[in-house]
């Protein structure tokens, strides 16, 4: 079996260079919008880790970060059940919270997260997602900031995975059918 992940990619949807441009644009907008606020960026692990790391370097104001680990996927499909594996360490009161997600897909997970975080009385709460997949939405939810709208396809790279693989690709792509085993 080859270890060259690139061979498993059917097509590249967003190149590494395009990713950099998207993240820089989002960072600039967030910097402007939060310049007089107490920004707390909440990364939803594991998928948003790469995006969060790059995004926070593009934000040119003071900010704090925290992490949640949530799961609702197995293989290619959402299970519809949201599990919290790691909760936040910081209290949210007084913060302007920006939830940083890799992809807004069905909306089920993000809707759950928002309800939970709102109950903790942040000053404000907004959503920043790298990818928006509106064709698959099951819950009425919109991102305040989004990098790109993508079609209803399963994607990997730039933090997004297929069974914990392909996260470290610097671009976003779709998998060849031969790379998807038993789905």
In this structure, how many other beta carbons lie within 10 angstroms of the beta carbon of residue 110?
Answer: 23
Cβ distance 131 to 151 under 8 Å? Answer: no
Cis peptide before 107 (omega within 30 of 0): no
Is 96 designated active site? no
Residue located via tokens 């790279």? 157
Q: How many helices (H) and strands (E) does the chain have?
A: 3, 9
Beta-ladder partners of 66: 42
Report the alpha-carbon distance of residue 50 to residue 59 in Å, rounded: 15
Residue 73, SS3? strand
Considering the candidates 8, 54, 96, 105, report the single residue annotated as catalytic: 105
Give catalytic residue positions.
105
């Amino acid at each position: 079996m080859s270890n060259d992940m690139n061979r498993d990619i059917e097509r590249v949807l967003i190149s590494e260079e395009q990713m950099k441009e998207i993240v820089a644009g989002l960072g600039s907008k967030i910097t402007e919008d939060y310049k007089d606020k107490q920004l707390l960026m909440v990364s939803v692990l594991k998928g948003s880790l790469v995006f969060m790391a790059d995004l926070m370097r593009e934000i040119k104001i003071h900010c704090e970060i925290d992490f949640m680990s949530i799961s609702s996927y197995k293989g290619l499909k959402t299970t519809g059940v949201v599990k919290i594996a790691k909760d936040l360490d910081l209290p949210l009161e007084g913060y302007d919270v920006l939830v940083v997600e890799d992809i807004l897909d069905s909306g089920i997970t993000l809707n759950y997260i928002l309800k939970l975080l709102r109950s903790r009385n942040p000053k404000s709460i907004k959503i920043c997602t790298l990818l928006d997949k509106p064709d698959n939405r099951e819950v009425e939810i919109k991102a305040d900031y989004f990098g790109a709208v993508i079609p209803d396809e399963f994607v990997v790279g730039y933090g997004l995975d297929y069974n914990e693989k392909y996260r470290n690709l610097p671009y976003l792509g779709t998998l060849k059918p031969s790379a998807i085993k038993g789905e």
